[in-house]
Structure 1
Amino acid sequence: MSESLPPPPSLKRCVEKLGLPTESVNWDLLDQALVHASASGDRNNEQLEFFGDSVLRLAAAEFLMEHYPQATVGELTRVRSQLVSDQMLAEIAENIGIEQFLQTSSAAAGDRAARPRRLADAVEAILAVLYLSRGHLQLVRPWLDPHLATSAQQLMENPAMRNPKTALQELTQKHYRTLPDYRTEEISTQHGDPQRFRADVRLGDRWLGSGVGASRKDAEKAAASQGYRALLASITTETQH
């Protein structure tokens, strides 16, 4: 399938369904992006997914710096980590209906546990196609930004993003009547590398999360952010049963 030839009807329907720009898209790469490794060992989306991961991180970083110029680096880092997560990418894939166009083996299609990762990989592969079709983010940002906007706003308004240590403390006091405990240590680095710290946060004997940062404060904030999400998910699950 040559880039200069018109795309097959199935791929054209896919482009229309996903809301992708039809101009200057490399159709051959897009076709490859929709082939899971289980369907073809020779020509699949693994390398595109690898490249798309970097495209996603760059696009998300640009988006956050443009829309939240007053945010701290720590806040931007925590929000970006959520925006590029498998969970967020799988939600994008669900919203735009990628799965109906994704070629997979019958065995892979039946693996429900691997489904979120499979969908996330497909989104990253498509981002790679949009970037490689032009060699920059001109096609990527208009397609990706609307998917980032709502989630980024919700994350920025989340108290665990703005002040994760306070948010975690309030959560543990409310549900367990106790405070989290942080254990922080300096990480060994090679000569000349910047100083780094690692923090673990626990609730009694229960490990909640860990984080790394350039200072003890940053490391503890990163640990608190992970701990808050894990503990909130656990509490939500417990209350549903």
Structure 2
Amino acid sequence: MKVIQDPRRKKDLRKLLQKLGLQDVSLVNWHLLDLALTHPSISPKDNYEQLEFVGDAVIRLSCAELLLETYPDLPVGDFAAIRSILVSDRFLAEIAEQYGLEMYLLASGGVRNDKWGKPSRLADCFEAVLGALYESTKDMSLIRPWLDPILQEKAIQVHADPARENYKDALQEWTQGKYKILPIYKVRQSESFVKENERFIAEVWLQDKLLGTGKGGTKKASQQAAAKQAYDSIMANELIKN
């Protein structure tokens, strides 16, 4: 087994594992964990890409096991809908951000300065960390104890949301059922955005009526934000009527 030559690097990685809540790190393969936090811009060969591939399967299996244990009577379609959100780059990047994963990631200055690529980068290295922990033991013993509570909290939130956080589909289903027509989205780039997640502004229209507006770092995200505002407003009005 390869070892980490720089004792400072191993000390930093140990701090990360402590953040995750792992007390017994005797089974951790430190070389794999180091690779999991090494961007391809540092080494075209020795980087996190292969571990990310493994980690993608690990997060999907973790979510599947957790959902089956938490909601044993839920239809498979609902399992798939909830899991798609739990394994999304957006949510995985949020977890990575929560643990400050980027401060442990070895990457070139150009990569670090790429703010638009940050969510995808964080999601990738988070999956790679899961891959490294799994490959250390070939089981979930270094993963599920700290990851389950995070996934469960999000699963409960998504399960309680009738739109499953896909407000575009939910709004489309409502407009088709009510009026037999689809909503129309108009997206423009903000001329004075300050935050990355406000780069685009979307409006969603139904015929001549503006249903909602939203901002996002991508066109798709801004459309989802607009659809959410519209859907929430519609559901609130429906509740009042009933």
Q: TM-score if structure 2 supplies the norm length?
A: 0.69
* Partner residue, 1:54: 57
1:34 aligns with 2:26: no
Asked whether the 8 Å contact 1:36–1:104 carries over to 2, the reply is yes
* Partner residue, 1:10: 12
Amino acid at match of 1:102: L
Asked whether the 8 Å contact 1:63–1:145 carries over to 2, the reply is yes
1:66 aligns with 2:69: yes
For residue 153 of structure 1, the aligned residue among 148, 152, 156 is 156
Q: What per-residue deviation string (whole Å, max 9, x for no partner) do you get for residues 33-64 of structure 1?
A: 11011121121001000110011101110000
Shift of 1:20: 3.5
Asked whether the 8 Å contact 1:37–1:45 carries over to 2, the reply is yes
d(CA) in 2 for partners of 1:178, 1:203: 12
- What is the percentage of aligned positions where both structures have the same residue? 44
d(CA) in 2 for partners of 1:166, 1:2: 49
Asked whether the 8 Å contact 1:18–1:97 carries over to 2, the reply is no
* Partner residue, 2:179: 179
SS in 2 for 1:8: helix
Asked whether the 8 Å contact 1:169–1:180 carries over to 2, the reply is no
* Partner residue, 1:144: 147
Shift of 1:75: 0.5
d(CA) in 1 for partners of 2:185, 2:11: 58
Query: Residues 70 and 179 (structure 1 numbering): CA distance in 2 closer, same or farther, change over 3 Å?
Result: farther
SS in 2 for 1:15: helix
Shift of 1:69: 0.9
d(CA) in 2 for partners of 1:87, 1:165: 17
1:104 aligns with 2:107: yes
Query: Residues 23 and 52 (structure 1 numbering): CA distance in 2 closer, same or farther, change over 3 Å?
Result: same
Query: Residues 230 and 95 (structure 1 numbering): CA distance in 2 closer, same or farther, change over 3 Å?
Result: same
Asked whether the 8 Å contact 2:168–2:227 carries over to 1, the reply is no
Shift of 1:141: 1.1
SS in 2 for 1:23: coil
Q: TM-score if structure 1 supplies the norm length?
A: 0.69
* Partner residue, 2:183: 203
Asked whether the 8 Å contact 1:168–1:180 carries over to 2, the reply is no
Query: Residues 166 and 233 (structure 1 numbering): CA distance in 2 closer, same or farther, change over 3 Å?
Result: closer
* Partner residue, 2:48: 45
Amino acid at match of 1:120: A
* Partner residue, 1:126: 129
The root-mean-square deviation of aligned C-alpha atoms, in Å, is 3.3
The number of equivalent residue pairs is: 191
